[in-house]
Structure 1
Protein backbone atom coordinates (compact mmCIF):
# COMPACT_ATOMS: atom_id res chain seq x y z
CA UNK A 1 0.00 0.00 0.00
CA UNK A 2 3.01 2.25 -0.08
CA UNK A 3 2.34 3.25 -3.69
CA UNK A 4 -1.18 4.32 -2.79
CA UNK A 5 0.17 6.26 0.18
CA UNK A 6 2.62 8.15 -1.98
CA UNK A 7 -0.08 8.94 -4.51
CA UNK A 8 -2.18 10.64 -1.83
CA UNK A 9 0.85 12.37 -0.29
CA UNK A 10 1.67 13.90 -3.70
CA UNK A 11 -1.96 15.05 -4.04
CA UNK A 12 -1.81 16.56 -0.55
CA UNK A 13 1.41 18.47 -1.31
CA UNK A 14 -0.09 19.73 -4.56
CA UNK A 15 -3.22 20.95 -2.78
CA UNK A 16 -1.18 22.60 -0.01
CA UNK A 17 0.58 24.62 -2.71
CA UNK A 18 -2.49 25.37 -4.81
CA UNK A 19 -4.91 26.44 -2.05
CA UNK A 20 -3.07 29.63 -0.94
CA UNK A 21 -2.30 30.47 -4.57
CA UNK A 22 -5.99 30.19 -5.39
CA UNK A 23 -6.88 32.45 -2.46
CA UNK A 24 -4.28 35.08 -3.47
CA UNK A 25 -5.35 35.08 -7.12
CA UNK A 26 -9.14 35.04 -6.72
CA UNK A 27 -10.00 35.96 -3.13
CA UNK A 28 -12.91 33.51 -3.36
CA UNK A 29 -13.96 32.07 0.01
CA UNK A 30 -16.03 29.24 -1.43
CA UNK A 31 -13.33 27.76 -3.63
CA UNK A 32 -10.70 28.25 -0.95
CA UNK A 33 -12.87 26.43 1.58
CA UNK A 34 -13.43 23.58 -0.86
CA UNK A 35 -9.71 23.29 -1.60
CA UNK A 36 -8.90 23.38 2.12
CA UNK A 37 -11.36 20.57 2.84
CA UNK A 38 -9.97 18.59 -0.10
CA UNK A 39 -6.45 19.08 1.25
CA UNK A 40 -7.52 17.83 4.68
CA UNK A 41 -9.31 14.86 3.11
CA UNK A 42 -6.26 13.76 1.12
CA UNK A 43 -4.11 14.27 4.22
CA UNK A 44 -6.45 12.04 6.23
CA UNK A 45 -6.35 9.29 3.58
CA UNK A 46 -2.55 9.61 3.35
CA UNK A 47 -2.16 9.16 7.10
CA UNK A 48 -4.57 6.21 7.15
CA UNK A 49 -2.83 4.41 4.31
CA UNK A 50 0.60 5.21 5.73
CA UNK A 51 -0.23 3.79 9.16
CA UNK A 52 -1.71 0.62 7.67
CA UNK A 53 1.13 0.19 5.18
CA UNK A 54 3.62 0.28 8.04
CA UNK A 55 1.72 -2.34 10.06
CA UNK A 56 0.89 -4.92 7.40
CA UNK A 57 3.05 -7.37 5.51
CA UNK A 58 3.89 -6.26 1.99
CA UNK A 59 1.54 -7.48 -0.70
CA UNK A 60 3.02 -9.33 -3.70
CA UNK A 61 2.73 -6.19 -5.84
CA UNK A 62 4.60 -4.15 -3.19
CA UNK A 63 7.64 -6.42 -3.07
CA UNK A 64 10.57 -6.04 -5.46
CA UNK A 65 10.87 -9.82 -5.86
CA UNK A 66 7.11 -10.43 -6.19
CA UNK A 67 5.89 -12.64 -9.01
CA UNK A 68 2.49 -12.63 -10.69
CA UNK A 69 1.83 -16.13 -9.36
CA UNK A 70 2.24 -14.85 -5.77
CA UNK A 71 -1.03 -12.99 -6.11
CA UNK A 72 -2.95 -16.05 -7.30
CA UNK A 73 -5.88 -17.37 -5.35
CA UNK A 74 -9.48 -16.53 -4.68
CA UNK A 75 -10.17 -12.83 -5.02
CA UNK A 76 -13.77 -12.81 -3.85
CA UNK A 77 -17.33 -13.39 -4.95
CA UNK A 78 -18.51 -11.74 -8.15
CA UNK A 79 -22.21 -12.06 -9.00
CA UNK A 80 -23.00 -13.35 -12.50
CA UNK A 81 -25.86 -10.94 -13.29
CA UNK A 82 -28.81 -9.32 -11.62
CA UNK A 83 -31.92 -7.43 -12.70
CA UNK A 84 -32.60 -6.06 -9.21
CA UNK A 85 -30.41 -2.94 -9.51
CA UNK A 86 -32.46 -1.83 -12.53
CA UNK A 87 -35.74 -2.11 -10.61
CA UNK A 88 -34.24 -0.42 -7.54
CA UNK A 89 -33.07 2.48 -9.70
CA UNK A 90 -36.50 2.79 -11.29
CA UNK A 91 -38.15 2.83 -7.85
CA UNK A 92 -35.69 5.50 -6.67
CA UNK A 93 -36.39 7.52 -9.80
CA UNK A 94 -40.11 7.31 -9.05
CA UNK A 95 -39.54 8.49 -5.47
CA UNK A 96 -37.37 11.42 -6.61
CA UNK A 97 -39.86 12.39 -9.32
CA UNK A 98 -42.72 12.23 -6.84
CA UNK A 99 -40.80 14.44 -4.41
CA UNK A 100 -40.08 17.01 -7.13
CA UNK A 101 -43.74 17.05 -8.22
CA UNK A 102 -45.08 16.94 -4.64
CA UNK A 103 -47.17 13.90 -5.56
CA UNK A 104 -47.19 12.13 -2.20
CA UNK A 105 -49.38 9.28 -3.44
CA UNK A 106 -46.69 8.48 -6.05
CA UNK A 107 -43.99 8.79 -3.37
CA UNK A 108 -45.73 6.12 -1.29
CA UNK A 109 -46.09 3.81 -4.29
CA UNK A 110 -42.42 4.30 -5.19
CA UNK A 111 -41.38 3.70 -1.57
CA UNK A 112 -43.30 0.42 -1.37
CA UNK A 113 -41.92 -0.75 -4.72
CA UNK A 114 -38.45 0.35 -3.60
CA UNK A 115 -38.70 -1.67 -0.38
CA UNK A 116 -39.74 -4.76 -2.33
CA UNK A 117 -37.01 -4.40 -4.95
CA UNK A 118 -34.32 -3.66 -2.36
CA UNK A 119 -35.36 -6.75 -0.41
CA UNK A 120 -35.16 -8.76 -3.61
CA UNK A 121 -31.68 -7.45 -4.33
CA UNK A 122 -30.44 -8.17 -0.81
CA UNK A 123 -31.85 -11.70 -0.68
CA UNK A 124 -31.31 -12.78 -4.30
CA UNK A 125 -28.52 -15.19 -3.35
CA UNK A 126 -30.62 -16.96 -0.73
CA UNK A 127 -32.96 -18.58 -3.24
CA UNK A 128 -33.13 -19.49 -6.93
CA UNK A 129 -30.35 -20.77 -9.17
CA UNK A 130 -27.59 -18.70 -7.48
CA UNK A 131 -28.44 -19.66 -3.89
CA UNK A 132 -25.55 -20.27 -1.54
Structure 2
Protein backbone atom coordinates (compact mmCIF):
# COMPACT_ATOMS: atom_id res chain seq x y z
CA UNK A 1 0.00 0.00 0.00
CA UNK A 2 2.79 2.40 0.84
CA UNK A 3 4.41 1.80 -2.54
CA UNK A 4 1.11 2.44 -4.31
CA UNK A 5 0.65 5.68 -2.37
CA UNK A 6 4.17 6.81 -3.26
CA UNK A 7 3.63 6.04 -6.93
CA UNK A 8 0.40 8.04 -7.04
CA UNK A 9 1.92 11.01 -5.18
CA UNK A 10 4.80 11.04 -7.68
CA UNK A 11 2.27 10.84 -10.52
CA UNK A 12 0.37 13.76 -8.96
CA UNK A 13 3.53 15.89 -8.85
CA UNK A 14 4.41 15.00 -12.44
CA UNK A 15 0.92 15.78 -13.75
CA UNK A 16 0.78 19.05 -11.83
CA UNK A 17 4.15 20.07 -13.28
CA UNK A 18 3.03 19.07 -16.78
CA UNK A 19 -0.17 21.07 -16.35
CA UNK A 20 1.86 24.16 -15.53
CA UNK A 21 4.12 23.50 -18.53
CA UNK A 22 1.04 23.04 -20.75
CA UNK A 23 -0.47 26.35 -19.64
CA UNK A 24 2.85 28.13 -20.22
CA UNK A 25 3.24 26.54 -23.63
CA UNK A 26 -0.26 27.54 -24.70
CA UNK A 27 0.32 31.13 -23.54
CA UNK A 28 3.56 31.35 -25.54
CA UNK A 29 1.91 30.12 -28.73
CA UNK A 30 2.35 32.93 -31.29
CA UNK A 31 -0.88 32.11 -33.13
CA UNK A 32 -3.32 32.04 -30.23
CA UNK A 33 -1.67 33.28 -27.04
CA UNK A 34 -4.56 32.08 -24.87
CA UNK A 35 -4.99 29.22 -22.42
CA UNK A 36 -6.19 26.06 -24.10
CA UNK A 37 -8.81 24.95 -21.56
CA UNK A 38 -9.56 21.40 -22.70
CA UNK A 39 -6.03 20.12 -22.22
CA UNK A 40 -5.42 22.20 -19.12
CA UNK A 41 -8.51 20.85 -17.37
CA UNK A 42 -7.85 17.29 -18.53
CA UNK A 43 -4.32 17.21 -17.16
CA UNK A 44 -5.41 19.04 -14.01
CA UNK A 45 -8.23 16.58 -13.35
CA UNK A 46 -5.87 13.66 -13.97
CA UNK A 47 -3.56 15.19 -11.34
CA UNK A 48 -6.50 15.55 -8.97
CA UNK A 49 -7.42 11.88 -9.50
CA UNK A 50 -3.83 10.83 -8.76
CA UNK A 51 -3.93 12.93 -5.57
CA UNK A 52 -7.20 11.28 -4.50
CA UNK A 53 -5.74 7.83 -5.04
CA UNK A 54 -2.49 8.72 -3.28
CA UNK A 55 -4.45 10.06 -0.30
CA UNK A 56 -6.65 6.95 -0.20
CA UNK A 57 -3.70 4.56 -0.29
CA UNK A 58 -1.85 6.60 2.34
CA UNK A 59 -4.84 6.49 4.69
CA UNK A 60 -5.42 2.79 4.01
CA UNK A 61 -1.77 2.02 4.77
CA UNK A 62 -2.01 3.87 8.08
CA UNK A 63 -5.31 2.20 8.97
CA UNK A 64 -4.04 -1.34 8.36
CA UNK A 65 -0.95 -0.74 10.48
CA UNK A 66 1.72 -1.52 7.95
CA UNK A 67 2.21 -3.96 5.12
CA UNK A 68 -0.60 -6.33 4.28
CA UNK A 69 -0.06 -10.09 4.52
CA UNK A 70 0.00 -10.26 0.71
CA UNK A 71 2.98 -7.91 0.67
CA UNK A 72 5.11 -9.75 3.23
CA UNK A 73 7.42 -12.56 2.15
CA UNK A 74 7.16 -14.39 5.50
CA UNK A 75 3.34 -14.51 5.57
CA UNK A 76 1.32 -17.70 5.25
CA UNK A 77 -1.58 -18.13 2.85
CA UNK A 78 -4.07 -18.17 5.74
CA UNK A 79 -2.90 -14.76 6.99
CA UNK A 80 -4.54 -12.95 4.10
CA UNK A 81 -7.70 -15.06 3.97
CA UNK A 82 -10.45 -13.13 5.81
CA UNK A 83 -14.10 -14.05 6.08
CA UNK A 84 -15.75 -12.37 3.10
CA UNK A 85 -19.36 -13.04 4.01
CA UNK A 86 -22.05 -15.58 3.31
CA UNK A 87 -23.00 -16.36 -0.27
CA UNK A 88 -25.65 -18.79 -1.48
CA UNK A 89 -24.11 -21.16 -4.00
CA UNK A 90 -27.55 -22.29 -5.25
CA UNK A 91 -29.16 -18.86 -5.64
CA UNK A 92 -30.39 -17.82 -9.09
CA UNK A 93 -31.47 -14.34 -7.97
CA UNK A 94 -28.17 -12.57 -8.76
CA UNK A 95 -28.34 -13.79 -12.36
CA UNK A 96 -31.91 -12.55 -12.71
CA UNK A 97 -30.94 -9.24 -11.11
CA UNK A 98 -28.12 -8.82 -13.62
CA UNK A 99 -30.50 -9.62 -16.47
CA UNK A 100 -33.00 -7.05 -15.17
CA UNK A 101 -30.28 -4.40 -14.89
CA UNK A 102 -29.11 -5.24 -18.42
CA UNK A 103 -32.67 -4.85 -19.72
CA UNK A 104 -32.98 -1.55 -17.88
CA UNK A 105 -29.81 -0.11 -19.42
CA UNK A 106 -30.63 -1.56 -22.82
CA UNK A 107 -34.05 0.07 -22.59
CA UNK A 108 -32.47 3.44 -21.90
CA UNK A 109 -30.22 3.00 -24.93
CA UNK A 110 -32.66 1.44 -27.41
CA UNK A 111 -36.27 1.98 -26.44
CA UNK A 112 -38.01 3.13 -23.30
CA UNK A 113 -40.54 0.29 -23.40
CA UNK A 114 -37.74 -2.23 -22.71
CA UNK A 115 -36.73 -0.22 -19.63
CA UNK A 116 -40.15 -0.80 -18.07
CA UNK A 117 -39.67 -4.55 -18.40
CA UNK A 118 -36.18 -4.16 -16.94
CA UNK A 119 -37.51 -2.24 -13.94
CA UNK A 120 -40.08 -4.96 -13.25
CA UNK A 121 -37.54 -7.79 -13.54
CA UNK A 122 -35.04 -5.88 -11.40
CA UNK A 123 -37.53 -5.18 -8.62
CA UNK A 124 -38.85 -8.74 -8.50
CA UNK A 125 -35.37 -10.27 -8.46
CA UNK A 126 -34.11 -7.79 -5.86
CA UNK A 127 -37.00 -8.63 -3.52
CA UNK A 128 -36.48 -12.34 -4.20
CA UNK A 129 -32.77 -12.14 -3.40
CA UNK A 130 -33.34 -10.21 -0.17
CA UNK A 131 -36.08 -12.52 1.11
CA UNK A 132 -34.79 -15.90 -0.16
CA UNK A 133 -33.98 -17.07 3.38
CA UNK A 134 -37.40 -16.22 4.79
CA UNK A 135 -39.28 -19.00 2.95
CA UNK A 136 -38.77 -22.57 1.82
CA UNK A 137 -36.17 -25.14 2.89
CA UNK A 138 -33.57 -22.60 3.99
CA UNK A 139 -35.80 -20.36 6.13
CA UNK A 140 -34.23 -19.13 9.35
1: CA distance, partners of 2:119 / 2:70: 47
1: CA distance, partners of 2:118 / 2:70: 48
5 Å matches for 1:14-33? 14-23=14-23, 24=25, 28-33=36-41
1: CA distance, partners of 2:16 / 2:49: 12
Residue 3 of structure 1 pairs with residue 12 of structure 2:
no
For the structure 1 residues 111 and 6, does the alpha-carbon distance in structure 2 shift closer, same or farther, using more than 3 Å as the test? same
- Alignment check: 8 A CA contact 1:60 1:67 kept: no
Q: Which has the larger radius of gyration?
A: 2
The partner residue of 1:113 within 106, 121, 127 is 121
For the structure 1 residues 4 and 128, does the alpha-carbon distance in structure 2 shift closer, same or farther, using more than 3 Å as the test? farther
Any gaps of 5 or more consecutive residues in structure 1? none
Residue 102 of structure 1 pairs with residue 112 of structure 2:
yes
The TM-score, its normalising length taken from structure 2, stands at 0.62
- Alignment check: 8 A CA contact 1:8 1:43 kept: yes
Deviation at 1:38, TM superposition (A): 1.9
Deviation at 1:96, TM superposition (A): 2.8
Q: CA RMSD in A?
A: 3.8
The TM-score, its normalising length taken from structure 1, stands at 0.64
Give the match's secondary structure for 2:76: helix
- Alignment check: 8 A CA contact 1:9 1:46 kept: yes
Residue 72 of structure 1 pairs with residue 82 of structure 2:
no
Q: Which residue of 2 aligns with 1:47?
A: 55
